[in-house]
Structure 1
Amino acid sequence: MRLIRTTLLAFILSSLLAACAFPPETALYQQSPDIPPYEQDSFADYVSETRDWIATHRVFLTDDHETEIARNIPFEIRPQASSNQTSNNDAPRRGILFVHGLGASPWYFHDIASAMAQDGWLARSMLLPGHGTRPGDLSLPDYDDWTGSVAHQVKLLEREVDEVWLGGFSTGGNLVTSYAARNSDIAGLLLFSPGIEPGTDLLFLTPVIQYLWDWVDADPEDNMINYQSLSTKASALYYRSVTDVADALDAKPFDRPALITMSAHDSVLDPMAILRRFETGFTNAASRMVWYDVNPAPSNDTRVESKNSNLPDQQISNFSHLSALFSPSNPYYGVDGSFVFVENGQEDIALPDDSTKLWRSAWGHIEPGKYHARLTWNPYFADMIGSIKSVTN
């Protein structure tokens, strides 16, 4: 039996190594001198120093350096004075800190943060160390850098508001859930495609593979707010976040309000496992799960709300891992946005010359006669903001 296990492990390792990538010899895949500092005394200093760091160390993809910097630095949106929760003389009472996913940027939360600020929230979005500059920098941070930067930003936010919520996308969802589960002063969670249950059983190998191989994937870098390439060190950090959040939720279910959004066609995660985790691991009666699928969610939990993800009148077949976050009017990922994920697992299908003929879906979805680009916006964005208001109230 031991020989069988050893042989199987060797086969899996050899298969993974065969799939590993050889990136081109460019600055994108080299490393900056270090990660930027993240323990500044104020959020304003954090933004300013991070901006300077990115301006110095980023490998720019376009000639528009200012836009690239702006979409990769931390930001905050303060509530307008006319809000019913704040005034010219009153500080905001409630705040939320958003944490992006692996390879992504703070700008992933631009649309949600803007909507919540209009409702009286102080909304901040931070940058995880290793992001915002070049894919090679994802091999620089340790897991303690990620958890430490989240913890520090929480403390800064707690100085300014009475009530703190945390929000996260994918890997960021793991980080904020782990923190909130162990810190009772966090009022609740907003989780968008949280990476709690990965879509592969082989992640446990990444702590070993990171010492054998540098890159899992090396793709052309053309997206200013998301790395397309993935180092083995980054994969190992994600795996660490998975085990960390599992330990936290297994020790005690999360008993404060939480919102989770999930596409049943998510190509990165295990949607059914996350649905079951919500049913048993998020016990507050005010918690909600928004389930995007062609069919109603396979759950008897009345807190789960289903949204039809097959919208042929909008040329949408289903929802992707990231689509819940963005408004249809988003200038980069929206309906008329400047960036389109055309490489979407459709290698054997001809890309149409007319972009209006593109359909949208999760990665890898294929239908005869249709070319599917990635869906990068949420047709139900306004409804999702309504769900956020319901859960947070």
Structure 2
Amino acid sequence: MPVVPGAEPFSHDGDRDVAVLLVHGLSGSPHSMRPWGEHLAKDGYTVRVPRLPGHGTTWQEANVTQWADWYSHVEREFRDLRRSHRAVVVGGLSMGGALALRLAEDHGPDVAGVVLVNPAAKLEHVLLPAVPLLHRVIPSFPGITDDIKKPGQTEVGYDRLPLRALASLLRAQKDLVRDLPEVFQPLLVFRSAVDHVVPASSTALILSRVSSTDVTEVVLHDSYHVATLDNDAETIFTGSAEFVERVTAGDAT
């Protein structure tokens, strides 16, 4: 199926022995991560921004994919980077943050650090408890893309939220939260003070359960959910670049 223009994956091979894997969110696309990836690429890092299965095409295609498909895709990207680089840092926006945390839980010291932007470890909505049943009879809800304060920006996502895919995420979040104590890597979290998609309690839950001792939370006061395309994007880009430099410097030879 043709990929929507702007939703293509981003890949850059740098001249350093450190790589960064960045993951977009549910019903979004690599477009939301590309400026971030390009910033890190300019610093010489190898960068991968994959297009998750079922994304960047139609919401109907997303509805026939699930967490296992998305995770296996990013895990393959991670394993490939780890084989060829001294260190790999993983990061993600929204559900992409949840996938990054799952990589940290599963791959331990092979993950050098984790950068999260409004990570979706939990969601809050009056209809969420009904989604496991609703998705069997209703294929989608109105979309939740483009929660961006800065005018003229789009994440090139779907205008409908695929409910079967959402139900898969909700199931996966339970195991993700259960295993958060397995996360011990350095952790940098950017949280928007106003986010109409993921509640602040999601970040609070993550920070309360991880075992990481090197933890920094940065509150973004001029951005909504898709902060990587919003007014505070430069704060994310420069802050994450400094983080990657710091957490991978100790292994340099």
1:202 CA displacement: 4.6
Match of 2:170 in 1: 239
Distance verdict in 2 for CA 1:169–1:224, change over 3 Å: closer
Q: Does the alignment pair 1:270 with 2:124? A: no
- 1:260 has 2:112 as partner: no
**What whole-Å deviation, never above 9, does each CA across 1:15-69 have from its counterpart, x for those lacking one?**
xxxxxxxxxxxxxxxxxxxxxxxxxxxxxxxxxxxxxx425xx5xxxxxxxxx1x
Cα distance in 1, alignment partners of residues 97 and 69 from structure 2: 16
Q: Which residue of 2 aligns with 1:377?
A: 231
Q: CA deviation at 1:277?
A: 3.0
Residues 1:169 and 2:93 are matched in the alignment: yes
Letter in 1 for 2:7: N
Is the alpha carbon distance of 1:266 and 1:162 closer, same or farther for their aligned partners in structure 2, counting shifts above 3 Å? same
Alignment of 1:1-393 (within 5 A): 53-54=1-2, 68=5, 71-79=6-14, 86=15, 92-184=16-108, 185-200=110-125, 202-217=127-142, 225-249=156-180, 252-281=181-210, 283-285=212-214, 287-292=215-220, 309=221, 318-323=222-227, 325-326=228-229, 376-378=230-232, 381-392=233-244, 393=246
Kept in 2, the 8 Å contact 1:254–1:284? The answer is no
* 1:342 matched residue in structure 2: none
In 2, are the aligned partners of 1:181 and 1:248 still within 8 Å (CA)? yes
Matched AA of 2:234 = A
Residue 163 (structure 1) shift: 0.8
Quote the residue 2:149 is aligned against. none
Alpha-carbon deviation of 1:276? 4.9
Deviation, structure 1 residue 244: 2.9
Q: How many residues align?
A: 238
Shift in Å at residue 101 of structure 1?
0.3
**CA apart distance, 1:72:** 1.3
**Considering only CA atoms, is the larger Rg found in Structure 1 or Structure 2?**
1
Quick check: 1:182–1:248 contact (8 Å CA) kept in 2?
no
Alpha carbons of 1:103 and 1:218: their partners in 2 closer, same or farther (altered >3 Å)? closer
The residue identity in structure 2 corresponding to 1:241 is A
**Aligned residues with identical type, % of pairs:** 23
Q: Tell me, what secondary structure is at the counterpart of 2:2? A: helix
Provide the aligned C-alpha RMSD in A. Answer: 2.5
1:100 to partner: Cα distance: 0.4
| Counterpart-to-counterpart distance in 2, 1:142 and 1:75 | 22
TM-score calculated relative to the size of structure 2: 0.84
* Change in 2 beyond 3 A, CA 1:139/1:273: closer
Amino acid at match of 1:258: L
Provide, for residues 285-317 of structure 1, a one-character-per-residue CA deviation record: whole Å limited to 9, x for no partner. 2x211112xxxxxxxxxxxxxxxx2xxxxxxxx
Higher helix residue share? 2
Measured after TM superposition, the shift of residue 224 of structure 1 is: 7.2
- Counterpart contact for 2:12–2:41, Cα < 8 Å: yes
Give a deviation string over 1:307-361, Cα, whole Å, max 9, x none: xx2xxxxxxxx521112x12xxxxxxxxxxxxxxxxxxxxxxxxxxxxxxxxxxx
User: Contact 2:92–2:116 (CA<8 Å) still a contact in 1?
Assistant: yes
SS in structure 2 opposite 1:54? Answer: coil
TM-score, normalized by length of structure 1? Answer: 0.56
The answer to whether the 8 Å contact 2:10/2:37 transfers is no
In structure 2, the CA distance between the partners of 1:388 and 1:218, relative to structure 1 (3 Å rule), is closer
| Structure 2 unaligned blocks of 5 or more | 147-153, 247-253
